[in-house]
Structure 1
Amino acid sequence: MTLAATHPEIADALALKRRTLTLALLTLTYFFSYMDRQILAILLELIKADLKLSDTQLGLLAGFAFAIFYAGLGIPVARFADRANRRNIIAVSLALWSLMTALCGLAQNYTQLLLARIGVGVGEAGSSPPSHSIIADLYPVEKRASAMAIYSLGVVLGGGFGTMIGGWLASQYGWRVAIIAVGIPGILLAVVVRLFVVEPRRGLSDAARAAEQGDMPTIWSAFRDMWRDAAARHLVLAVTLTSLIGYATTSWGPSYLQRSLGFSVGQVALVIAPIAAILGTVSGVGGGRVADWAAKRWGIHAQSWMVGLLKCAALPFTLIFFLTDVPAIAIGAYALNMLFANSYLGPTFAMLQGLAPLRMRAMWAAITLLVINLIGLGLGPTLIGVLSDALVPLTGKAESLRWALVTVTAATPWAIFHYWRGGVMLRRRQVAHANEVTAAG
C-alpha cells in the first residue's frame, strides 16, 4: 500500500513540504516540452534549404502535424490522469517526446521528419494536463496564479533557450545536431521526475471543496460543463485566440527576422532569444504576482481584466516589430512587446483550475489545451505559411511573410474582448455569491 493510503496526514505534509521542488521539476519539464516543440522555428530556413520545402510544408510541420496528435491525445491522457498517478504519466511522456525529438535530427526527407514531429506531439500530450492538476492540488487559490505563472515560464524560457541553443548549434554544426542535442537530456530528466516529483492528494489545497469528491464524471459532462460556464467559455476563447497569434508569430518570427531584416541564424540566437527569455520571464512572473494581488484586492475577475489591459499595451509594439525596416527599432519594439505580452498564461490557467470541479481538473486543462493547440498551435503556424505563399504575387517573395504575420496579429482585439467578458462573468458570479452569503447570514 502507498503512504497516502496508510498515513494520509504524513503524505499530505510531505507533498506540501516538497511542493517547491515539484513545481520546479514540472516547470523544467514544461521547459523541455516547449524547447523541443519550438526549436523548429529557428531551424525552418535551414530545413527548407536542405530538404527543398515550401512555406506551406514548413507550416504543417510547425503546426497541424504536431498539434493534431498533441491536442487530440490530451483528452484520453487527462482522463487517465484524473484516475491514475499523474507523476508517472508525466515521466513516461517526457521520455517519449525527448526520444522522438532526437529522431527528428535523423530524418532524411519530409515524410520522415513529419512522422518524427507527430511522435513529439504524441509524447507531449501527457505533460501539461496532469501538471496543471498537480499544481492546483499543491497551491491554494490565493497562490495559484503565481504558481501557474512560474510553471508557464516553460514557454518563454523553453522558446528562448531553444532558439539560443538551437541557433548556435545549427550555425556551428547544422540543424540535425541542434535537434538531437536538445532531445537527449529530456530522457535523463524523466528519471529525475519519476524519483522526486510528489503525487498529492486530489483537493489537498481546496479543503472547502472536499464535498465535490465523488464518482468520476464523464468526458462529455466535462465538455458540457465548461461550455455552459460563461466565464470558462470566454476564458478559453480568449486564451485560444491569444495562443493562435502567439504560436504564429513565435514559429515564424526567426524566419521573418532573417528574410525581412537581414538577421543571421546566429544573430537571432544571440540577440533576440535572450530578450525573449529575460523579459518573458519578468512578464510571466510579474504577471502572476500582480494577478494574485489584484484578485486579493478586487476579486478573481480582476485577473481577467488585467490580462486584457496588458494585451492592449503590447499590441502597438507587436505591430511596430512587424512593420519597421529598421533592425534597432524592431529589437526595441520586440522587447517592449515581450514585457507585456507573456503575462496571460498563468492567470488564465489559474482561473480555469479554480472554476473546474476537483475530479475534473486535468480534464478541464486538457480540453483547454485541445482547443488552444488545434486552433492556436495547429492553425497559427500553418495559416502563416499558407498566407505567405498566397501573398507572394501581391507583395513579392521577400515581404509576403511580413504581411502574413501582420494579418494574423490584427486579430488581437478579438482576444482582448473575451478577456473583458470573462471578467464580467466572474464579477457577476462574485456578486451573486456575496448576496447569497448575506442572505444566509
Structure 2
Amino acid sequence: MAGVVPAPPGAPAARPGVAAWLVLAVLCFVYVLNFLDRQLLSILAKPIQDELGISDGQLGRIGGLYFAMFYCILAIPVGWLADRANRVRVLAFACALWSAATAACGLAANYPQLVLARMTVGVGEAGGVPPSYAIISDYFPSGTRGTALGLFNLGPPIGQALGVAFGASIAAAYSWRLAFVWVGVIGMVTAVGVWAFVREPKKGGLDQPADSGDAAAALEPRPGLGQTCRAFFANPVLRGMALACGATQFVTYGMINFTVLLLMREKGMSLEDVALWYALVIGLGTMSGMVLSGRLIDRLARRSRTAYAYLPAVGLMLALPLFVAFVWVDSWRLALLFLLLPTGLNYFYLSPAVTLVQEDVRPNQRVLSGALLLLVMNLIGLGLGPTWLGAASDFFRASHPHNSLQMAFYTLIPFYVLAIALFLWLARSIRRQALQEANP
C-alpha cells in the first residue's frame, strides 16, 4: 500500500492557508455534533432508565452492539463511495441523517423505538469521520497533519463535555427528551452549512509521490474496494494499529457509556453536579490529551516511526493506576480528581493512529482506509466495550447490589494491559517494516 513522502527529519513543514484552518474548524464542529449525539444516551442514562425501565445490560447493548453494527459496517461502503465522489456532500448528508435520528430518540415511547432511532444514528454517523479525515489530509500537507488531526479529534471531548453540560442541564430543568430534539435540530442546520460553504479539495493535491512508480500509480484507475481492503489488512503495521486501538477503545467506550451512571448511582453525584464538574473534567482532560498527543506525534515521528506505538503505550501505562483509584474511591469529588489525567492519557492513541494510516496509504484510498481503521476499532471497542460493561454490571447485581457497576469497571483492567501489550508489539512491527524497506 504505497503512501507519500513524509516531511524529512528536521525539515520545516509547509504552512497551511487560512482556508484550511477555517475548514478544519467547521469539520471539528461537525465532529462535536457527531459525538454529542452519540453520547447523549450515556449522559442521560439514569432519567432514561427511570422512565423506560431498561437495565444496564440493555443500555450497554443500545449504546454498544446495536449502534456499532450499523456504524462500523456501513462505514466501509460509505468510505468506498466517498473516495469516488464529493466527500463534502457525503459528510453533509450523513450529518443531516444522524441529526434527524437523534431528534427521533427524544420521541421514543419504549425501548424498541429507542433502539431503532439509535441504529439510525449509527447509519448516519458512518459517513461522518472517514470523509473528514481525508478532507483534512488534502487541506494540510505532510508534517502538519498530526497537529491538524489532533485538533480535529478535539471533537469527541468537546462533544462529550458539551453533551454533559447541555444534556444534563436541559434534563434537570425540563426533560431528557428535549435535549435530544434540540441537538438534532442544530445538527440539521449545520449539515446545510457544510453543503453550502465547504469546498471539496483536490485529492492528493498536497502530496508528492514517493517515487516515479507512485507517480505512475496516481494515473491508474482507482483501486477497488477489495483491493484496498486486502492491502490494508495485509499490512502488519496498519493491522496491528487497528487491533491495538480496538483494545484501547474497549476501555474508553465502556467508560464513556457508564461513567455518569457510576458517578450518580454509586458515588452520590447529582445531575446538576454532572452538568458542571464532570463536564469540566471531560473537557479539560480529554482536550489536553488530544492536543498534546497530536503535537508530540508530529515531532516524535520525524525521529522514529515507533513513536506511533510507544506514545499510546506510555499514555495507557500512566493512566492505569489512576483509573483504578477512580473506580475504588467512594467520594465523587475524589473520583473526578483521579479521572482527570486518564481522560487525556486514554486518548493518546487516536492522533497517532489516524496520522499513521493517512500517511501510509495513497490519497485515493484515504477515506476507505480510515473507515477500515474505524471498522476494527469500533467493532471491538464501541461494539463490545459498553456491551461487556453493562452485562458485567447485571452479572454482579445479585452479589453486589449496591456497587455492581464498580465491580464491572474493575473488569476493564485486563483490557488496559492487553492494549499496552498490543502497542508494544506494534512498535516491533514498525521496526521490522523499516528494516525491510531499508534492505529490500
Partner of 1:342: 347
Deviation at 1:365?
Answer: 0.8
Partner of 2:206: 205
Moved more, 302-311 or 15-24: 15-24
From 374, 399, 409, the equivalent of 2:379 is 374
Q: Does 1:136 align with 2:107?
A: no
The gaps in structure 1 that reach 5 residues or longer are: 1-14, 437-441
TM-score by length of 1: 0.92
Q: Does 1:423 align with 2:424?
A: no
From 393, 397, 408, the equivalent of 2:398 is 393
Q: Quick one: which amino acid aligns to residue 425 of structure 1?
A: S
Q: Spell out, residue by residue over 1:119-140, the C-alpha distance to the aligned partner (whole angstroms, 9 max, x if none).
A: 1111111111111111222222
Q: Does 1:268 align with 2:269?
A: no
SS of alignment partner, residue 309 of structure 1: helix
Partner of 1:233: 239
Partner of 1:191: 192
SS of alignment partner, residue 274 of structure 1: helix
Moved more, 332-341 or 150-159: 332-341
Partner of 1:6: none
SS of alignment partner, residue 135 of structure 1: helix
Q: Quick one: which amino acid aligns to residue 346 of structure 2?
A: A
Moved more, 237-246 or 130-139: 130-139
Partner of 1:306: 311
From 332, 349, 360, the equivalent of 1:327 is 332
Tell me if the contact between 2:250 and 2:415 (Cα under 8 Å) persists in the aligned partners. Answer: no
CA distance in 1, matches of 2:344, 2:119: 32
Deviation at 1:357?
Answer: 2.6
CA distance in 2, matches of 1:353, 1:197: 21
Deviation at 1:303?
Answer: 2.7
CA distance in 2, matches of 1:329, 1:431: 47
Moved more, 55-64 or 241-250: 55-64
Tell me if the contact between 2:326 and 2:335 (Cα under 8 Å) persists in the aligned partners. Answer: yes
CA distance in 2, matches of 1:34, 1:346: 16
Tell me if the contact between 1:137 and 1:201 (Cα under 8 Å) persists in the aligned partners. Answer: yes
SS of alignment partner, residue 348 of structure 2: coil
SS of alignment partner, residue 73 of structure 1: helix
Q: Quick one: which amino acid aligns to residue 259 of structure 2?
A: G
Partner of 1:222: 228
Counting only pairs closer than 5 Å after superposition, residues 54-93 of structure 1 correspond to structure 2 as 54-93=55-94
Q: Spell out, residue by residue over 1:265-292, the C-alpha distance to the aligned partner (whole angstroms, 9 max, x if none).
A: 1211211111111121111101110111
Q: Spell out, residue by residue over 1:316-372, the C-alpha distance to the aligned partner (whole angstroms, 9 max, x if none).
A: 111111111133321211112123222221111101111223221111111111122
Tell me if the contact between 1:21 and 1:197 (Cα under 8 Å) persists in the aligned partners. Answer: no
Deviation at 1:259?
Answer: 1.4
TM-score by length of 2: 0.92
Q: Does 1:408 align with 2:412?
A: yes
Tell me if the contact between 2:31 and 2:128 (Cα under 8 Å) persists in the aligned partners. Answer: yes
Deviation at 1:435?
Answer: 5.1
SS of alignment partner, residue 141 of structure 1: coil
Q: Spell out, residue by residue over 1:170-189, the C-alpha distance to the aligned partner (whole angstroms, 9 max, x if none).
A: 01101101111221101111
CA distance in 1, matches of 2:127, 2:74: 8
SS of alignment partner, residue 162 of structure 1: helix
From 268, 285, 289, the equivalent of 2:291 is 285
Q: Quick one: which amino acid aligns to residue 373 of structure 2?
A: T
Counting only pairs closer than 5 Å after superposition, residues 16-165 of structure 1 correspond to structure 2 as 17-165=18-166
CA distance in 2, matches of 1:16, 1:361: 22
Q: Quick one: which amino acid aligns to residue 271 of structure 1?
A: W
Partner of 1:8: none
Tell me if the contact between 2:228 and 2:369 (Cα under 8 Å) persists in the aligned partners. Answer: yes
Moved more, 190-199 or 283-292: 190-199
CA distance in 1, matches of 2:437, 2:66: 44
Tell me if the contact between 2:252 and 2:346 (Cα under 8 Å) persists in the aligned partners. Answer: no
Partner of 1:249: 255
SS of alignment partner, residue 207 of structure 1: coil
CA distance in 1, matches of 2:372, 2:344: 28
- Please give the root-mean-square deviation of Cα atoms over the aligned residues, in Å: 1.7
CA distance in 1, matches of 2:151, 2:69: 27
Partner of 2:365: 360
Partner of 2:6: none
Deviation at 1:397?
Answer: 2.0
SS of alignment partner, residue 418 of structure 2: helix
CA distance in 2, matches of 1:101, 1:313: 36
Partner of 2:8: none
CA distance in 2, matches of 1:117, 1:163: 18
The gaps in structure 2 that reach 5 residues or longer are: 1-15
SS of alignment partner, residue 398 of structure 2: helix
Q: Spell out, residue by residue over 1:3-42, the C-alpha distance to the aligned partner (whole angstroms, 9 max, x if none).
A: xxxxxxxxxxxx9551111111111111100000001111
Q: Quick one: which amino acid aligns to residue 273 of structure 2?
A: Q
Q: Quick one: which amino acid aligns to residue 422 of structure 2?
A: H
Q: Quick one: which amino acid aligns to residue 323 of structure 2?
A: T
Moved more, 46-55 or 321-330: 321-330
